[in-house]
Amino acid sequence: MTAATGLSDSPLRSLLGYRLRRAWIGIRADLAETLRPLDLRMLTYTALVLIEANPGLSQARLAGLMTVERPNVVAIVDELARRGLVCRRRDPGDRRAYALDLTPRGRALSRAATEAVERHEARLFGALSAAERRAIDAALERLSERL
Amino acid sequence: MTAATGLSDSPLRSLLGYRLRRAWIGIRADLAETLRPLDLRMLTYTALVLIEANPGLSQARLAGLMTVERPNVVAIVDELARRGLVCRRRDPGDRRAYALDLTPRGRALSRAATEAVERHEARLFGALSAAERRAIDAALERLSERL
DNA sequence: TATTGTTATACTCTATAACTATA
DNA sequence: TATAGTTATAGAGTATAACAATA
């Protein structure tokens, strides 16, 4: 019962999926706000960080890391490359694939964005106790096994 | 480090938002599969259950419960009404508003869908211990306060 | 045959501005 | 003036099929 309105979402409140959705909507909106001043979205930020951590990464492997289908990576890398943040080289060992790397500008933006994202995480999740945090991590780990 | 591939998503694994996104993608896909045979989507199912729990609900209040903007509720209720699952009556006390209710067919579908969704939840979240479940509930509650 | 990047395409979800009719 | 429902529209994320080049 949402006390103020007298409305009931009780049949859904027992569903973890329903509550995760509500949380995710809020988190996503706050993350979008956090990244907007840097002209990044959730997915372009994620790609930036993953390419930095995996020099020479291919788009197919990037898609795997991002949990996104391969076709959706194309526009993301297009945008990052157009802005001079990522450079696409042909992989010498496999001429079908690209070897993706960050440019110096890409590394600088990655650093600035990561600082902003860490502030965002602290703002949202800072109130969680260490025990709560561990419990969530464990639960998400368990969940991943079933998906 | 994802051992099999040698790829690293470590810079993101410390971000709760990143892990929640991955979990949510999987949960959503499984939920969509669960509801597809019943010709329901996440949002139409949610609306169905909330209308059942709140007879005479208006679309604006439904939007509030669903964490969706009012315009997005229109197509959802349109679809449910067209299929004879929900009936729209004018609210006698406020002729701007609708009073939404389930039809008998809507109630039957709600019941069948809820059974399917409960099996889906049990399949995905059944492995969580009671303590983990409580920790997640508490953490999501805390999180909601900050959003 | 299988895989990489690609194009085209579509669906779902979410969001905003502006209109109408009531209040 | 404010609210309920609506229209139109847009953006973001996610998904599938099919094709050319390469393996």
Listed as ranges, the nucleotides of chain C within 7 A of a protein C-beta are 3-9, 12-18, 21-23
Residue percentage of chain B with pLDDT more than 90:
67
Distance (Å, whole) CA A108 – CA A16: 38
pLDDT of residue B57: 97
Q: What is the CATH number of the domain that holds B107?
A: 1.10.10.10
Q: Which stretches of chain B drop beneath a pLDDT of 50?
A: 1-3
Q: Which residues of chain A fall below pLDDT 70?
A: 1-5
> Is strand C in 7 Å reach of the CB of B25?
no
Q: Which domain holds residue B46?
A: 12-118
All residues at 6 or more sequence positions from A94 whose CB lies less than 8 Å from its CB, including other chains: A58
Q: Which residue is nearest to nucleotide D20 (CA to C1')?
A: A96
pLDDT at B62: 98
**Residue of B123, B54, B62 lying closest to A11 (CA atoms):** B54
Tell me what percent of the residues of chain B surpass a pLDDT of 70.
97
Per the structure, how many domains does chain B have? 1
Mutation target vs A (from B16, B22, B128; most A CBs, 10 A cutoff): B16
**B9 within 8 A of B3, measured Cβ to Cβ:** no
Yes or no, beta carbons of A128 and B139 under 8 Å apart: yes
Q: Which pLDDT score is estimated for A1?
A: 46
According to the 3-state scheme, what is the secondary structure of chain A? CECCCCECCHHHHCCHHHHHHHHHHHHHHHHHHHHHHHCCCHHHHHHHHHHHHCCCECHHHHHHHHCCCHHHHHHHHHHHHHCCCEEEEEECCEEEEEEEEECHHHHHHHHHHHHHHHHHHHHHHCCCCHHHHHHHHHHHHHHHHCC
Nearest chain B Cα distance for residue A27, angstroms: 7
pLDDT for position B133: 86
pLDDT of residue A3: 43
Is residue B132 one of the residues assigned to a domain? no
